[in-house]
Structure 1
């Protein structure tokens, strides 16, 4: 069992950040620690306790690079259309660019996917993704507790079919999130700035 960081629940929830530039690309990540974190993630809720999620863990350098190349291609398109409004936006853009440039060097890539039976449902898809994304966030929290970091990414979905072909993912399973996973350079993450609660809180109606 991996030793856990001394974080209480509120600290864990408020200091689990999207980590990009502070991912340690040189330190190997043991598959066992990823398995430990996934065992925690499997306790997350899913609709009707269906547990139709799948977790594709990539450690092979050649396979990771193929996925990383498609991610970088998608990021280039995305980045070209994003305004650089302020210092915060520019810092995030720099961090995101770094991840796109180094994705193939990250020790482990984890793709969270879910069985859909075929085509995605029309209309509101909250029921489907609500059975995957809580597990992916639990995985992020479990990794943080073990001194590892990740960054919630979905840009690879622009090339979902191509990635599915590379990885042999069947057409009945759809990808929902890609998490690059590595030990972090330091563990001293802090809560981020957020909008005031009263600006977004609605009680008994809008």
Structure 2
């Protein structure tokens, strides 16, 4: 039976959903209906044991966004500046440019109209969970978060996956009233994007990262 999905359209969505840090429209609001559509798409993602224990905290309040941005910068600035310096020392300008963008985003995060925090109910006790249990927990929210970002891209919204705020997770939880038994997994800034569309990034051939029937090379 032939697929009912246009592979070219699907591939274009998957390969052009980029981290948007500089081209976010900081002035144009995002309709709540668009965000709910994206979350509805995200809810179709798989979860371990069909648990469906996800939640999405959507932050539009300006004061809360300002406080989150303050915490984000406290966690990110020094680390990002050091990583950028290391990249430039080794001549890795592509990575240095990425950290330039990350620092730019940190500087304007309070002005990004929407912050979305994908969360999942449950916590990993320090050092006491197996890799399988941790993979099941994070595997029950990260696919949904990526589906949210794909759905946003299809609706003309730019996003970026960030997680550095987790160094201040407890403080962010206090700002948003997130209970202790809930784990934040990312902070996704969301806005309409400016300029034209996006192109696929340069990546090595698939053959260079593929291992057939076992690990080799």
TM-score range, shorter chain: over 0.9
Q: Specify the alignment match of 1:3 in structure 2.
A: none
The CA distance in 2 between the partners of 1:80 and 1:94, in whole Å, is 8
What is the Cα-based RMSD across aligned positions, in Å?
A: 1.4
CA deviation after TM superposition for structure 1 residue 187, in Å = 4.4
| Residues 81 and 99, structure 2, Cα contact 8 Å, conserved in 1 | no
Q: Specify the alignment match of 2:40 in structure 1.
A: 39
Q: Specify the alignment match of 2:100 in structure 1.
A: 94
- TM-score after normalising by structure 2: 0.88
CA deviation after TM superposition for structure 1 residue 11, in Å = 0.5
- TM-score after normalising by structure 1: 0.93
1:63 counterpart = 2:60: no
Q: Specify the alignment match of 1:194 in structure 2.
A: 203
Secondary structure of the structure 2 residue equivalent to 1:181: strand
| Residues 118 and 145, structure 2, Cα contact 8 Å, conserved in 1 | yes
Q: Which runs of 5+ in 1 are unaligned?
A: 1-6
Q: Which runs of 5+ in 2 are unaligned?
A: 1-7
How many correspondences in the alignment? 200
| Residues 22 and 185, structure 1, Cα contact 8 Å, conserved in 2 | yes
1:23 counterpart = 2:24: yes
The CA distance in 2 between the partners of 1:66 and 1:79, in whole Å, is 19
Q: 1:40 to 1:187 in 2, by over 3 A?
A: farther
Per-residue CA deviations over 1:59-112 (Å, capped at 9, x if unaligned) read: 000001111111111111321431123221221111111100000000000000
1:181 counterpart = 2:190: yes
Larger Rg: 2
1:116-131 to structure 2, matched below 5 A, reads 116=122, 119=125, 122-124=129-131, 125-131=134-140
Higher helix share: 2
The CA distance in 2 between the partners of 1:79 and 1:11, in whole Å, is 30
The CA distance in 1 between the partners of 2:157 and 2:65, in whole Å, is 18
| Residues 118 and 173, structure 1, Cα contact 8 Å, conserved in 2 | no
1:152 counterpart = 2:158: no
Q: Specify the alignment match of 1:170 in structure 2.
A: 179
Q: Specify the alignment match of 1:4 in structure 2.
A: none
